[in-house]
Amino acid sequence: MSTVTHPGPGDTTTVAPAGSAKPRPIAEFLSTYVFSKDHKVIGLQFLFSTLVWFLIGGLLALAVRWQVAWPWSDVPVLGKLFAQEGGQMSPEFYTMLFTMHATVMIFLVIIPILAGAFGNFLIPLMIGADDMAFPTLNMLSYWFMWPAFLAFGASFFVEGGAASSGWTSYPPLTTNPAASPGSGMGQTLWLIGLTFVGVSSMLGSVNYMTTIILMRAPGMTMFRLPMTIWAMFITALLQAFALPVLTAAGFMQLFDRSIGTGFFSPEGSIINNEMTGAGGGQPLLWQHLFWFYSHPAVYIMILPAMGMVSDIMTCFARKPLFGYRPMIYSVAGIAGLGFIVWGHHMFISGMNPALGMTFMVSTMMIALPSAVKTFNWLGTLWGGRIQFTTAMLFSISFVSMFIIGGLSGIFMAATPVDIFIHDTYFIVAHFHYVLFAGTAMGVWAGIYFWFPKMFGRTMNEFWGKVHFFLTFIFLNGTFFTMHILGAVGFPRRLADAYHYETFHHLQPMNAFMTYCAIGMVACQVIFAANFFWSMFYGPRAGRNPWNANGLEWTAPSPPGHGNFDVQPIVYRGPYEYSVPGCEKDHLMQTDPPLETAVAAAH
């Protein structure tokens, strides 16, 4: 693209940050910003798309919270949008809301923002490559998200509304349309959307693996890679091995639904007073296949964030990462064990209880690498020179919150205890601590940290900290209380639980949580304003605003097409901060070895 010359001054080899208003031929505009094969543009396309879905997912969550706190009362503002019964929501609508909230957050936000946005933007820059191994595949991986965006988006408007059987899509509720009267295309579109997300992830993961294996700069050995890249690499492996199972299962469910194959339906059911078809299938089969993908997927949803947080923490603690190799081994351990723990989602599903016992052991074991990582993060902070930048605050909070999410996992891994807390708010607390308080905080850390590289400008630190502070307070107000709701047995996914004697006194607590949730979504306005303002008016950042060590910081901000102006050569690992006998407190991966530098000075 950059080989096309056109009149006018200006550096044609630089992918200009948005806002440069030079008249360009449409074709060139399309190939630069729309059907671009440049990994940075694709990364930003993923970033913007997923942030938009993040907003949609957040609003869906507020509607869910509204119903949980004040069942059957008129929904303010949003009620007008979906007013059926005069602004009050129906139970069908509520089930659709939480289904689509989870679907959007998992498949259209967390997974694509980590792998698609950060993976794309950072991998070539951090390993010293000029682009991905397969730029065209890379472009396709973004454009395959669009059929998914459209399928999920359109499903809100089809008759009967979007999917409403939970993000786990358990049959026979999903395979037999009669089980949810009035539901139409929604569930089918959901399955189609899921398939496209899968295709996109698969294209990305093949690309990431190849790029990381083949395109590292000279001197960049595997054990000199930053943790972000290790995490992206292992995430790509997880995707590649787990996704085919989900895709196959998704097609089976689609066939069950559309042509009655009956993979997941037993014979002799009576749904909605009608005998069902021949059957011959097993509902539990879906759960096995689904979780065989979706448990590894929960790590797909956090490992890259763990990697980014490790890199950011070392930079702002000015210290080498504590236990670099153990950190890598524990990521690998999580990935390996991640394939043999899926049954912990099925302890009380009717699965053989003896099998439940073995899954309990493997699940307890997977807490181990998570613990090792936590200890190493603490070790990294110990003895550092900690700078409280916004990115650092988000990173520290990632560690603090991940501790909570990891520990609550142990309760549910204990099968007897899980009998009581399964499908209660305890689980809702658990996965929001790992996914929101963990991954989303890691994502914000990553945005504040790499924003200068993405747009050549820095975000406002003061407003960044305000954003951090409010988000942190509100998220704990919303999610921490869910643990004790779960201890009462308060079930998830109930449109109204207060008619149960056991739960009717919990409404005030739920109202409190909803207020916090509203605050949490509202304070994202600060983030959005800061983000867009800084993109155009933020202070210009040099190549290396944080004095960090990685290769990405040797490239211009933002890097032009091809990334580096000189081929980077790597002499050391990424965490050489505060090296004794070195004047600067950081030694970049490309700085020539100390001895030669010292020798040259003599």
Partner 1 sequence: MRNRLAGLFWSLLFLAVPVLGVAVFAVAPSIDVWLPKDVSAHGKEIDSLFYFILALTGVVFIVTEMLLFWFIWKYDVAARGEEKATYIHGSHTLEVIWTIIPAVVMLFLAIYQMNAWADVKMRRPVMKPTVEVVARQFEWRLRYPGPDEELGTPDDLFLVNDLHVPVDEDVLVQLKSMDVLHSFFLPNLRIKQDAVPGMKIPVWFKATETGQYDLVCAELCGWGHYKMKGRITIESREDFDAWLEQKYREQEATQPNPQEDML
Is residue 434 within the footprint of ligand HEM (CB under 6 A)?
A: yes
- In this structure, what token pair is assigned to residue 235? 């995430």
Nearer to partner 1, 95 or 188 (CB): 95
Cβ contacts of 50 within 8 Å, gap of 6 or more: 108, 109, 112, 113, 116, 117
Least gap, CB of 389 to partner 1 (angstroms): 11
Q: Of 495, 428, 492, 423, which Cα lies nearest the Cα of 94?
A: 495
Distance between CA 72 and CA 89 in Å, rounded? Answer: 6
Q: How many residues bind ligand HEM (CB under 6 A)?
A: 23
User: Rounded to the nearest 5 degrees, what angle is found at the Cα of 518, between the Cα atoms of 108 and 99?
Assistant: 35
Least gap, CB of 341 to Cu ion (angstroms): 6
Is residue 240 within the footprint of partner 1 (CB under 8 A)?
A: no
Contact partner at residue 467 from Cu ion, ligand HEM, partner 1, none, CB < 5 to 8 Å by partner kind: none
Give the SS3 label for residue 424: strand
* Helical packing angle, 353-381 and 390-413, nearest 10°: 150
Asked whether the beta carbons of 439 and 302 are under 8 A apart, the reply is yes
Residue by residue, what is the 3-state secondary structure of 82-96? Answer: CCCECCECCHHHHHH
Least gap, CB of 37 to partner 1 (angstroms): 39
User: Rounded to the nearest 5 degrees, what angle is found at the Cα of 165, between the Cα atoms of 48 and 116?
Assistant: 20
Distance between CA 318 and CA 384 in Å, rounded? Answer: 6
For residue 504, give the amino acid letter. Answer: H
Is residue 507 within the footprint of partner 1 (CB under 8 A)?
A: no
Strands 270-271 and 274-275: antiparallel
Cβ contacts of 55 within 8 Å, gap of 6 or more: 524
State which of positions 56-115 bind ligand HEM (CB under 6 A). Answer: none
Distance between CA 443 and CA 397 in Å, rounded? Answer: 12
Considering only 78, 215, 367, 417, the residue that binds ligand HEM (CB under 6 A) is 367
Considering only 430, 457, 467, 483, the residue that binds ligand HEM (CB under 6 A) is 430
Distance between CA 451 and CA 456 in Å, rounded? Answer: 7
Q: In this chain, which stretch among 29-37, 56-64, 214-222, 428-436 interacts with ligand HEM, using CB under 6 A?
A: 428-436
Least gap, CB of 473 to ligand HEM (angstroms): 22
Considering only 10, 350, 539, 593, the residue that binds partner 1 (CB under 8 A) is 350
Nearer to partner 1, 194 or 421 (CB): 421
Least gap, CB of 189 to ligand HEM (angstroms): 21
State which of positions 271-310 bind Cu ion (CB under 5 A). Answer: 295
Peptide bond between residue 558 and the one before it cis (omega within 30 degrees of 0): yes
State which of positions 250-309 bind ligand HEM (CB under 6 A). Answer: 298, 301-302
Considering only 378, 522, 528, 597, the residue that binds partner 1 (CB under 8 A) is 378
Is residue 410 within the footprint of ligand HEM (CB under 6 A)?
A: yes
Is residue 417 within the footprint of ligand HEM (CB under 6 A)?
A: no
Residue numbers of the site for ligand HEM (CB under 6 A)? 168, 298, 301-302, 344-345, 363, 366-367, 370, 406, 409-410, 412-413, 418, 422, 427, 430-431, 434-435, 439
Residue numbers of the site for Cu ion (CB under 5 A)? 295
